[in-house]
Every structure is written in structure tokens, then in C-alpha cells.
Structure 1
Amino acid sequence: MSMPDSDIESCNLGIDLSSKRRIKHPLGAPLFWQGLHSTYQDYCQHTSLHGVQYLGERHRPMKERIFWLIVFVVSIYSCGSLINNAYTKWNATPVIVSFAEKSTPVWNIPFPAITICSETKRVVKKQGSNTYAQLYSKFKEDMRHTRIFKPQNVSAYEMEEFRTLLHVCNTQIMDQDMPLIPGDELNYYNVLERMLPPFERYFFYCRWLSRFNECDKYFRQTLTEEGICYTFNGLRPTEIYREDTYQHYTSSDENVTASSWSLESGYAASSDVETYPARVLSAGARSGIFMALQSFKQEVDYACRGPVQGFKVILHAPDDVPSVSNQFVRIPMGREVLIAVKPNMITTSAGIADYHPQRRQCFLSHERSLRFFKVYTESNCQLECLANFTLTKCGCVKFSMPRTLDMPVCGEDKIYCYDRAERELLVREFQRVRSLSVAGETQRGAETACNCMPACTSLVYNTEISQANFDLDEMLAAENDTDFMREYPGSQMSRLSIYFKQSQFITSKRSEIYGITDFLANCGGIFGLFMGFSILSLVEILYHFTLRFIANLKQVTKVDN
């Protein structure tokens, strides 16, 4: 008994069962291909994909089928190209930096750490002592003739101070063939401290939060590449450096409580108004720090620091180690300098933690461990990388670089070496990045040698500077004050005021450009636009070519029998 044509049509078998001839497949599986053909026609009739139904219609002309096949292939190609572009963007730059939705009050962040360095590195304390200019002149003369420095009438103290000043004065004039000056190994920090100008004379007075106090209540000594400087509102060395790293302490560090602030989490909820590191409640000069800086004409040594005298000031985050020679604000003498601070803070969203650091191009605090520092910042990482590179190149490190107690400190014969090491390190990093860029690896986030990417959460203090003349002599003459010049002969003074410009500021935020959900929605939108494809369309394909195919295959087998 034969089946009605309508039943056959409804089953979408597409097989002429009344025919006595069977087309045998070369592999000997005619029933399989009959079932597959039936399933294909069935799918084409019921699918939700646009245009596919025309490919499976039995009586559709071949030209129309070819036309719709071309349209279908073009749509598939367009979808693939657009999705590939979206994936490339998501893979290469998954993180975007945008402005936060709300402004941040200045009391949420610490007041900037302020490091101040005087250009006067040595005060001649004994009558008849040699100045640095005199010692350097004798040094150059002996080097020119005998290559051995044996100056006459120079005390052992002066020799120690001269050897130390060679490291902090203008090192660009040092020769590559400079020999090691005879003498015992020096503790450069102790010698620098011995030469240091009197603090209370150079930091004349300070005002912090509308309270006048002696400046030594706020500042502590900091060792930098330009000698000993003074830092206000910075973290203690024990909170910055690891235990096995060389550190220098001052008596003021013992009276400071542990910090209640970290860059990623901010201040603790229990922190009071007066906390450490310090913060302010509003903008303006009355809520900032004000100080009078003083130097003396007779103590200026132009042979050491050159024609520009005064002070260098650098503003940095409390957990950063200051690099005074790289970025600073010059405070000349006889001027009043106002520095209005504009914070630039970048925070992070929780979603970016799932991405690899090389993809998001920043490190979370726990992802990059430094050898010498407890806290990861980009500047701390660069300083550590320079120290490691200098140790490898010169066999020693500069006295101001972070180091362990067993690492040798460079003597005078290595000044040229470590002074050139910084540039060589920058050239090496540039050449590595350039070679990776030529190879196309930078798009995939390849690491440089130092691997000092920015911290995901960072805090930078931008500045706006204004100046005015400050004529101390005219002011004293107007007030008829003669006692001051008798007590401080040769005095030249400047005033410095640092404060927040605004009480609120807009932070930036690192967040996902789009996550997995957004990426899938993007892909679904492209598929839907070109083909009408959805998740149910995928289920249809799986259903027709698994369950429906098996059912059709069984039905073909029954009819054949």
C-alpha cells in the first residue's frame, strides 16, 4: 500500500517511493543520504534564518537558489568580519578610562607629599676650609698631570666631603676614565648629614592648617639622588621599603602612628580628621601649607649646582619615592610661589580584575611584587629597575638607589657608569618596544624588560604655578627692622604656598569597555541584523540534524522495507 502524496509532502522526505529504481550512494549508504536530504528540506522550510527557506524549496529554479546562496554566503562573511573586529577590539583594549559619575571631595585623598631640596649642599663650617670649587680645581689639576689626587692642606673631613659631593654635584662633567680616589669606603648618608645646612635656618617658618609651628614638626629627612632632602606627609621608610632593604630613620619616625590609608582602599572608615598621612577638608590657601625658605649668599657654591640656586620642590603621592632630578618645581630666591594642586586620580571597577594585566595594561597591588618596595607604583618600579640595571652594568648602585645591605655602593670611579646607565636603560626599553611593534607583539600586550606598567589605581598631583616678587630688603627697610639682617647676614628668602585648587574633583575610572555579556549581545545583534539569527536558531539546527534526522532516518527505513 502506497502513501498519499500529501503525506509524503508533509513529511518532507522528497523521495519518489513509487519509483522502482534506487540511486545507490557510492559508499553503499542510500538510506542515510535520503534521511539527510529529507532533514535538510524539512529544516529549510521551518527555519527562522532569513533566505534559507528558498534554498530548500523543491520546485525553486536553480538561478534563484544560486542567488540566495550567494546572498547567504555574503551575509555570513559580513557577520564574521564584524564579529572579528569586535573581538579584536575586546581582546586588545578591553579596558577604557572614563570619568566617574560623581565628583570626589578632597578629604577622600591625602594632601600631597612634598619633598624640598636645597641647592646648597655643603656649608663651610670652619674658617679657612676649602670650598668645593677649590677642591675640584685641585682635583682636575692633579688628574691632568699625575692621575692621582693628592691635594695639599686638605683635611680628612674635607676629602670625605669632596668625594661625597662628586656624587651630588654636576656629574655630567665626569670622565669615563676617572680613577677611584684613595680612601676608606664612605657612608655617604652620614657625610651628607654632616654637611647639611642647618634646617631651622633654611626652613624659616611654616604654617599648616592655619597653625604656625616650627617646620621640623612636619618634615623628615629623605635620601634622594641629589642628597638629603626634606619630605612632608610622606609614608615612613618602614611602610615603603621591605625589611631587607637599606633604610635610614629619623627620630620623628618613631612618634608617627601607622598609616590608615592605602591607594586602593583609601582611608579607613574610623579615620579622624587629623590622620596620617594628613588630609585637608577644603580648598584654598588657608587649608594648605605655607612656608618661608631661606638661603644665604655667602653659602652658595656655584661650582656644585651651577648658576641656578634656590630650592627644588616635587609633589608626589605619599607612597611614592621622590625622584627629584626628573620632575620638580623650581623655587628661586626673592620670589613668592603659589602652587595650586589639581589631583588626578584613577580608580578601578571590579570587573577588570578578571583580565590579564597585559590586556588591561595596568597592575593591581597584589599582581606585581617588587624586590625592594612593599607598595607597587610605576615610579617605584622604574627606580627598582634602574637599580637592578645599574648593578648589572656597573657592579654597584648609587648611594641613593634602593638596595639590600650586601649590595656594593659605587665609588667615585663609577660615577660616569651609573650616570649613563639611566639613558642606556631607556634606550634598551625603547628598542625592545620598537622590535615588538615591528613583530606585531605589542598588540597582544608583550612585556618590556622592566615591565613597569601603571598601577590600576593611581594618584597624581598636577599643579598650577604663579609667582610674584618678594623683596626682603625693602620690606625690612620699610619696617625699620635692622635686627633681622644682623642675625641673618646675607639672607635671601622666598615664600611658598601649596593648596588644593578646588574642594571637589572628578576622578577617572578604569572599567570594561564591554564584558562577556556585552560581547555576546554585540555578536547577537550583528547576527540578528544580517541573518535573523538567535539562540533558538541554533537550537533549531541542533534539533533538525540530531533528533529530527534520526526520526526521518527511521521513517525512511520503514518505507524502504
Structure 2
Amino acid sequence: MSKDTSVIVKPKEKVPGFRKNVSEYFGEYAGNSGIHGFNYMGEPGRYLSEKIYWMFLFGVSLFFCVGLINQTWIKWKSSPVLVSFAQSPSPVWSIPFPAVTICPQTKSKQRFFNFTKAYWDNVDGTITKKDLDRLNTISLVCSESFNKEGNKTTSYSSLEFLVQVAPSLRNIALSCTWASESDAPCSKLFVRTLTEEGICYTFNILDRDELFTKAVYLHKNFSNHGKSSEGWSLEKGYPENSRKNTFPRRAIRSGAGGGLSLLLYLYQQDLDYFCQGVQGFKILLHHPATIPLVGTPYFRASLQQVTVVSMKPDLMTTSESLRGYDPYKRQCYFSHERNLLYYKSYTQENCNAECISNYTYIKCGCVAYHMPHMKLMAVCGSGSIECLTEARDEFMTKRIEEGISNQKREDQRSDKAVIDCDCLPGCTTLSYNAELSQSDLDWQRVFRSRGVNPNKYPG
């Protein structure tokens, strides 16, 4: 007996190819997509030209979208920090009053040393060696380089001579008033400082023990007044428990009554128009943790004129949320992120001062008398004036070139001092903008009207 067996053979299903799968999946995705115009690209029954048209529009949109994203990325990479204005103003007492540096344009009192006569005696060959040394010293602070034939370096005794012949504070300040406190001794308000202008006098600057590190050689009593900042710092401001009359001084109210008033004068017989063609005073405003440098904005207080200065502080702070960013991304340093060799507080001005001092020493083998330096570094004399000028100009030029090219140049050995500057702005900066108004002053009539004999102040 036999059994019948039946075999059912099914046709083999055809597996769709890769292109068909892609087409089906794309059509399904396009049909369910919420992107405008995208569903037309994969919709069955559409003409090929219509699909190409919508693909073209989508490609153009995608191109511009990617371009905008790329521009946003580049902008964030180059400047990831945005500057915005505070929604509420800061009270005037929360910001220190500016440091005010007064530099007499008379560098040598003619009654003590006649610079003009000494210069022409040198031209005639009749000058004594003592006067020639003095001439070389005064040449360091004149507006032009009158004598470049002196020694390449000089001694610290030259600085003592600058102090001796420069107008003292009592010879330039007749009265000083701070915040309506009349008859305040000027010697209690001002301290003698050494700047590019020579011997100057500064109000409201930090003591040198808080300005400079122990690496700096400090000659005599420049910038030494012994007052403590009592916990103030540029980044943190005044402590909450600080006194009203704290240091650095701050204005309690706006207006002239909360500021500094000075009556400045110079004796006619002491003026020397050869060393400085313009007489009077050069006044610089800066914040208390810096020494004024080359390029610091200044204004002139001319003789026989009243000068009224209205100041507006600009305080820029950085959000604490940016502390985790790399300093080069946020383009600023917090105070703890950058230590300087010569200065205790990091500011861009202090960093530049340190850098130009190092650059000058590399180029000239000495530093200018007013630059921060270590004790073993030589101080440049009048014979190095040309080198000092070249070093300053080269330094400024290279900084500009670096800013334009934004790349470090390694083709010159002397560039190293500039390349290593790394002087980003501080994350907290304080500057002061000044507006001036001036009018003539007939001081003799003013004195007579107040019962003061002007003959007591000859010249």
C-alpha cells in the first residue's frame, strides 16, 4: 500500500534592493516630517522636477543655516564673554576715589640749578664736571633729549639730586581740601612718587609695601606713606565692616564737596622753559593699585587758571560663573590666575610696566630710573636715552603688530620679552573718565580780596 505525498513549492520572495529601501524609507520619513517642504521630496506621484526644486530650496536653506552656526561658533570662540550694563547704578562710596598724580613741569628750580645756563655752558665748553653730571641727570626728565653724551648708566645718587632740585610739595601746593575737610596738611594727603615725568606727588595711592613685591628695589621713600588698605582689593572692593574714612579714600557724596580741591603754584623765578617748554602741572588719574605709566591719559593744569575736573568711574566686573573658563577664552585674568614679578596686584597696566622694564633691560642692559627693577639691574644714564626711546617705540610697535596678526613671532631674539608679556586685561577693571572746564584766574586780586598780601608769594 502506498502513500501519496504532496510538496507545495512557494515562489521565492524578491528582496528589495538598497536603493529601493532608501527610497521607501526616505518617502516614509518625508511624509511624516514636520519640516516645511520636506514631504514634497518623497511624496509618490510628484514630478521629478518638482522634487528637485524642493531639494534645491532645502539645500540653500541648509547652506545658510550651517553658515550662521559657523559664524556664531567663531564669534564665541574669539570672544565668548558678553559685556552688558548693570541694571542698577553703583553707589559712589563703593568705588575708591582715583589716585591723583601731580607732576610739576618745572623739573629743576633755577635758584638751585639753572639747567638752561648749564646747557649753553656745555655747548661753549666752559661747564664744570660737577655741573655736567647734573646736566646729564636733569636730561633724563626733560621733554627732549638735550644731552646724549653722558654715561650709559647712572647711580642712585642721581635720583637724590632729582629730589633736591625738583619743587617740593610745599613749593607747589598752597592748600589742600579733601571732602570739605579744609586745611588738611598736604603732606598727609600726598606722597612722593617716581614716574616718567620725574618727581611727582600722588594722592590716594596704595603704600609701596602693598604695590610692589620684595623683588623690587625701592630707593628712598618713594610711594611710602605707611597707610594700610584695610582689606580693600580691586576685585572684592571694600569689606562690609570698613570704616567711612577708610583707605584708599572714597567719596561719600558726589559733587565738588565730596572731592579734592587744590591750590597749586610755582615761583616765576624757578620756571625753566628749556627743559620743558610748557609750564604748569601735568595731572594723571589712575586707580590706587597702579603707578602711572607711558600713555596714561593726563590733562594739564596751566598757570593762572582754574581747572575743574568732573570724573566718571567705569567699573567692569566679570561674572563668577566664568571662573571655570580658560583665561584666554574669557580674555581676562582673575587676580589669583596671574602673578607678576614686581607687582602684588595684577592689572594690565602693571603687567605692561613689568614687561617694558624687562624688554628695556634686554635691549639696553639697563632700565629707566622710574621702571620697577631688581637691585642688581643698572639704571640708564643720559648716554642711553636713545636706546630707551628705541626700546619704548619698538615695544609699542611689536605689541600693535601682535595685536593685528594675533600670532607670536619667533624670528627675533629680543621679541621674547614681548611674547612673554601675556598681559590680558583684568577681569575687574576700574578707570576714570574726566571732563574739564577751565577759566582764567587773577590770583593776586583773589588774594587781596581775602586779606592775603600777594607780595608774600613773590614771582
TM-score when scaled to structure 1?
A: 0.70
Which of 74, 79, 95 in structure 1 is aligned with 2:81? Answer: 95
Q: Distance in 1 between matches of 2:32 and 2:449?
A: 100
> Offset of 1:476 from its aligned partner?
4.0
Q: Distance in 2 between matches of 1:93 and 1:40?
A: 41
Residue of structure 2 equivalent to 1:136: 119
2:106 corresponds to 1:120: yes
Q: Distance in 1 between matches of 2:210 and 2:154?
A: 33
Deviations 1:395-426 (A, max 9, x none): 11101011111211112210111023211222
Q: Distance in 2 between matches of 1:262 and 1:369?
A: 15
Q: Distance in 2 between matches of 1:324 and 1:60?
A: 74
Q: Distance in 2 between matches of 1:419 and 1:64?
A: 73
> Offset of 1:287 from its aligned partner?
1.3
> Offset of 1:316 from its aligned partner?
0.8
Deviations 1:516-550 (A, max 9, x none): xxxxxxxxxxxxxxxxxxxxxxxxxxxxxxxxxxx
Which of 208, 215, 222 in structure 1 is aligned with 2:178? Answer: 208
In structure 2, give the amino acid aligned to 1:408.
A
2:440 corresponds to 1:457: no
In structure 1, give the amino acid aligned to 2:119.
Y
Residue of structure 2 equivalent to 1:400: 370
Which of 224, 228, 244 in structure 1 is aligned with 2:199? Answer: 228
Residue of structure 2 equivalent to 1:362: 332
Deviations 1:434-479 (A, max 9, x none): 4459x9xxxxxxxx83443332321111111112222122234456
> Offset of 1:86 from its aligned partner?
2.5
Deviations 1:334-369 (A, max 9, x none): 112111111122222234434443443333323333
Residue of structure 1 equivalent to 2:235: 264
Residue of structure 2 equivalent to 1:488: 457
Which of 270, 284, 295 in structure 1 is aligned with 2:255? Answer: 284
User: Is the Cα contact below 8 Å between 1:174 and 1:416 reproduced in 2?
Assistant: no
Of structures 1 and 2, the one with the larger relative CO (CA 8 A, separation 6+) is 1
Residue of structure 2 equivalent to 1:385: 355
Residue of structure 2 equivalent to 1:504: none
2:82 corresponds to 1:81: no
In structure 1, give the amino acid aligned to 2:103.
C
Residue of structure 2 equivalent to 1:245: 216
Unaligned stretches of 5+ in structure 1?
1-17, 143-149, 440-447, 491-561
In structure 2, give the amino acid aligned to 1:264.
E
Q: Distance in 1 between matches of 2:385 and 2:377?
A: 16
Residue of structure 2 equivalent to 1:320: 290
Unaligned stretches of 5+ in structure 2?
1-9, 410-417
Residue of structure 1 equivalent to 2:396: 426
Which of 156, 164, 185 in structure 1 is aligned with 2:137? Answer: 164
In structure 1, give the amino acid aligned to 2:81.
V
Map 1:500-515; keep pairs closer than 5 Å: none
Residue of structure 2 equivalent to 1:445: none
Q: What secondary structure sits across from 2:335 in the alignment?
A: coil
Deviations 1:309-331 (A, max 9, x none): 11111111111211377532111
> Offset of 1:185 from its aligned partner?
3.2
> Offset of 1:76 from its aligned partner?
3.1
Q: Distance in 2 between matches of 1:325 and 1:112?
A: 17
User: Is the Cα contact below 8 Å between 1:113 and 1:231 reproduced in 2?
Assistant: yes
Residue of structure 1 equivalent to 2:440: 469
Alignment CA distance shift 1:35-1:20 (3 Å):
same
> Offset of 1:282 from its aligned partner?
0.8
Query: Whose radius of gyration is greater, 1 or 2?
Result: 1
Q: Distance in 1 between matches of 2:245 and 2:296?
A: 32
In structure 2, give the amino acid aligned to 1:164.
T
Q: Distance in 2 between matches of 1:255 and 1:434?
A: 43
Q: Distance in 2 between matches of 1:136 and 1:434?
A: 43
User: Is the Cα contact below 8 Å between 1:339 and 1:463 reproduced in 2?
Assistant: yes
User: Is the Cα contact below 8 Å between 2:208 and 2:223 reproduced in 1?
Assistant: no
Q: Distance in 1 between matches of 2:12 and 2:446?
A: 123
Deviations 1:279-312 (A, max 9, x none): 1111111111112112111111222212x11111
Q: What secondary structure sits across from 1:264 in the alignment?
A: coil
Q: Distance in 2 between matches of 1:466 and 1:206?
A: 20
Alignment CA distance shift 1:379-1:94 (3 Å):
same
In structure 2, give the amino acid aligned to 1:369.
N
> Offset of 1:139 from its aligned partner?
2.4
Q: What secondary structure sits across from 1:245 in the alignment?
A: coil
Alignment CA distance shift 1:249-1:284 (3 Å):
farther
Q: What secondary structure sits across from 2:140 in the alignment?
A: helix
Q: Distance in 2 between matches of 1:287 and 1:196?
A: 31
Residue of structure 1 equivalent to 2:6: none
> Offset of 1:79 from its aligned partner?
2.8
Q: What secondary structure sits across from 1:207 in the alignment?
A: strand
Alignment CA distance shift 1:173-1:451 (3 Å):
farther
Q: Distance in 2 between matches of 1:78 and 1:184?
A: 66
Q: Distance in 2 between matches of 1:198 and 1:71?
A: 79
In structure 2, give the amino acid aligned to 1:363.
Y
Aligned length: 440
Q: Distance in 1 between matches of 2:433 and 2:225?
A: 31
In structure 2, give the amino acid aligned to 1:323.
L
Q: Distance in 2 between matches of 1:429 and 1:325?
A: 14
How well do the aligned residues superpose, as a CA RMSD in angstroms? 3.3
In structure 1, give the amino acid aligned to 2:383.
D
Q: What secondary structure sits across from 1:246 in the alignment?
A: coil
> Offset of 1:481 from its aligned partner?
4.5
In structure 1, give the amino acid aligned to 2:245.
E
User: Is the Cα contact below 8 Å between 2:192 and 2:223 reproduced in 1?
Assistant: no
